[in-house]
Chain A
Amino acid sequence: MTLLSKILGAASGVAITCTAVAAQAEVLFWSTQAKPVEESQAMREQVLSAFEGGVDYQPNDPGPWLTRLQAEIQAGSGTIGVLGALHGDFSAMNPDDLVDLSDMGVMSASETFNNLAKLGTDTMQYIPWMQASYIMAANKEALQYLPEGADVDALTYDQLIAWAANVHEATGEPKFGFPAGPKGLKHRFFQGYLYPSYTNGVVRTFASDEAVTAWEKFRELWAHTNPASTNFSFLQEQLLSGDAWIVFDHTSRLAQAFNDRPDDFVAFPAPAGPTGRGFMPVLAGVAIPNTAPDMEASKALVSYMLKPETQIATLRATNFFPVVDVDLPDDLPPSVQAAGNAVAKMSASADANPGLLPAGLGDKGGDFNRVFVDAFERIVLANQDIRAVLDDQKAALAAIMEETGAPCWAPDAPSEGACPVE
């Protein structure tokens, strides 16, 4: 062995040791959020880079996310330091597997969110991290076809249907866009928007006569919806391509359209029905699994995520809004301004009918969503009889509610015990 190769060998050995040490000290942030490459890059570079000790931010799909987490929990030891996920992802977990975070001294400004974060126990199982909502957005070209007397900031479902019909007639193409793709969030539209707006409920009123009306209205809207919507999951793409002019989606799934061409699009509140303007928040949280290797570092990272400046950096990176009280700066990206205004108008409207996220469903959250997705596929895509489908799906919904014993959440009237399907 020559001297040179000895030196090289020693140098590479030292280098490998250094990386190993560095990798070990970093906290693994295992997340279902900020998955698109640009967002995870922004999380790493702008949000987490200032954290002392470093963070290894790894986003993944909810399925693999949970699989690895459960494997670590079952093994009793793990490498994941902090979890970032939606409320629904956490509620599918056993609260015993998460560290009690009540004594962290940080929480969100919203009492509702803090209660959701208890996951049905008496203590905080996760800390609310960031929030978003669903809004409507339109190409400005479409505004000229608004029906007479309609205010884009206070639309009703009937006006929306008329508007979409006008656009359809004028352009010869159905231009309403709906996130009905495999990864689209269509179920949230039914749970948080259509049902509350027409039936003032979600579970109790699932198969009511008002629900039949709601689905009839949705069918009318669907007649003016781009049939390729069954492939749409991020409506920003269709807004930018012009395949859809009027759309409904998650604020962060519309952001790119506003950031790329801020002058071409408008954001506005969801429409209102006979029982008000239904809408629902999206809540993400951070938690620590019992198997976290370095509890101190994990807790420090959770506190760091809730700092006002981190929350604003997160807003810029992901288009999810802060959950703590912060003074928003003026130079926010166009998407944040547009979405923020639309959400503010939505919650401030006189007929606002805010709903809550499904709670208490445990690992049946996916089945709960499937009830609504199935209803959509059968009623709208397969054109089956609405009454028959709802009566059939009702049994599946009732079984989920009974099995989990989940009490009703707003806008459903409170229940004693499991929320009944009436």
Chain B
Amino acid sequence: MNAGILPYVLILPVTLFLCVFFLYPFVLVAQQAFSDGSNFTLENFREITSHWKFPISLKNTLLLAAAVVPVQLALALLMATMVTRMQKGRDIVLYIWTIPLGISDLAAGIIWLAIFDQSGFLNSMMSGMGLIDKPLNLLSYQNPGIVFLAIALAEIWRATAIMLVILVAGIGLIPKEYYEAAEVFGASPWKRFLRITLPLLRPSLQTALVLRVILAFEIFAVVAALGGTLFPVLMGETYSYQFDLLNNRAAAAMALIILAISIGFTLIILRVLRVPKGASI
């Protein structure tokens, strides 16, 4: 077979798969979002954005992403540098740290619910130590701060590993010579991290951040388990339009808004962390 055609033949199945199961449904969703059954309209978008919960769920989603992603980034960087320094047991530590990745997000939410619940581990521990007389209802509408904190904690616990894995792979690609040279010139470990690891890690940081930020805007199951209806987020509203209100046009419009936000942030991250041409390692 002609070697020039071979690559295209090889990616053909995947391309077909994506077209049938991703692009085609996507076009249908976009059609639904912009139509009232027959005509082109923006009415669906007007309807969802004018609902009183929309600004709240938008704010909650962005706030959660803003709180969770930087913490995860810092943690993942720290963990990745630690792992690469290890001589022994590196694989085991890495496996243990990535366990949360294998757990579905709803299960993760329920695990944390078992901790924060009125009869949960945290309450029994506190009353066991004599800190409180009776179990507190932590996840109630009266403590929006704790609800937010619980969700953020669960998200950090659950999804830091996905950044970690990408960063560990990225750090492994950085040639040792740079570090050796820096050491010869007496650069401190912190300086080596700032001047060598971070800049050379840019492509991996880019990937990790893009992936993580997109997932942060899609947060749903953890919030549903821990916050119920107390903490509305965009994805939860999409679900309720589709299944509670049976309004699939509004749900489609909501999905497109989430997509637009994700694309916007992806472009920003790509731009900010761009790798200059020819500057790769």
Interface residues of A, Cβ cutoff 8 Å to B: 61-64, 66, 92, 173, 181-182, 226-228, 230-231, 243, 363, 366-367, 370, 374, 377-378, 381, 392
Contact = CB atoms under 8 A, between A and B. Distances in A.
Contacts of B229: 181-182, 230, 377
Contacts of A230: 140-141, 228-230
Given A62-B243, A227-B141, A374-B53, 13 more contacts: A181-B228, A182-B229, A227-B137, A227-B140, A227-B142, A228-B137, A230-B140, A230-B230, A231-B228, A363-B247, A370-B244, A377-B229, A381-B230
Given A228-B118, A231-B139, A392-B52, A366 B228 contact: no
Contacts of B242: 63
**Secondary structure type dominating chain B contacts:** loop
A230 B144 CA distance: 13
Given A227-B141, A367-B245, A182 B228 contact: yes
Q: Across chains A and B, which 8 residue pairs bring their CB atoms closest together, nearest first?
A: A63-B243, A366-B245, A228-B137, A227-B140, A182-B228, A381-B141, A366-B244, A182-B229
Contacts of A381: 141, 230
B246 A374 contact: no
B140 A66 contact: no
Nearest to A377: B229
B204 to A, nearest CB: 39
B52 A374 contact: yes
Nearest to A230: B141
A18 B246 CA distance: 39
Contacts of A392: 52
Nearest to A63: B243
A238 to B, nearest CB: 11
Interface in B189-234: 224, 228-230
A305 to B, nearest CB: 26
Given A182-B228, A182-B229, A378-B52, A228 B246 contact: no
B138 to A, nearest CB: 10
Interface string B141-182: 110000000000000000000000000000000000000000
Nearest to B224: A182
Nearest to A233: B228
Nearest to B244: A366
A77 B246 CA distance: 22
A130 B230 CA distance: 33
B246 A363 contact: yes
26 contacts: A62-B243, A63-B242, A63-B244, A63-B246, A64-B243, A92-B246, A173-B134, A182-B229, A227-B137, A227-B140, A227-B141, A228-B137, A228-B140, A230-B140, A231-B139, A231-B140, A243-B118, A363-B246, A363-B247, A366-B244, A366-B245, A366-B246, A370-B244, A377-B229, A378-B52, A381-B230
Contacts of B139: 231
Nearest to A67: B243
Assign chain B's interface to a size class. Answer: 10 to 19
A169 B141 CA distance: 22
Contacts of B230: 230, 381
Interface in B242-264: 242-247
Contacts of B224: 182
Contacts of A378: 52
A85 B243 CA distance: 15
Contact of A66 (B118, B228, B246): B246
A61 B242 CA distance: 13
Nearest to A378: B52
A228 B139 CA distance: 8
Contacts of A366: 244-247
Contacts of A377: 229
A363 B37 CA distance: 15
Contacts of B140: 227-228, 230-231
A228 B147 CA distance: 13
A66 B242 CA distance: 11
B103 to A, nearest CB: 22
B245 A370 contact: yes
Nearest to B118: A228
A11 B229 CA distance: 53
A183 to B, nearest CB: 9
A367 B247 contact: yes
A132 B243 CA distance: 24
A385 B48 CA distance: 23
B132 to A, nearest CB: 14
Contacts of A227: 137, 140-142
A63 B243 CA distance: 5
A173 B140 CA distance: 15
Contacts of A228: 118, 137, 140
Contacts of B247: 363, 366-367
A366 B52 CA distance: 16
A28 B20 CA distance: 31
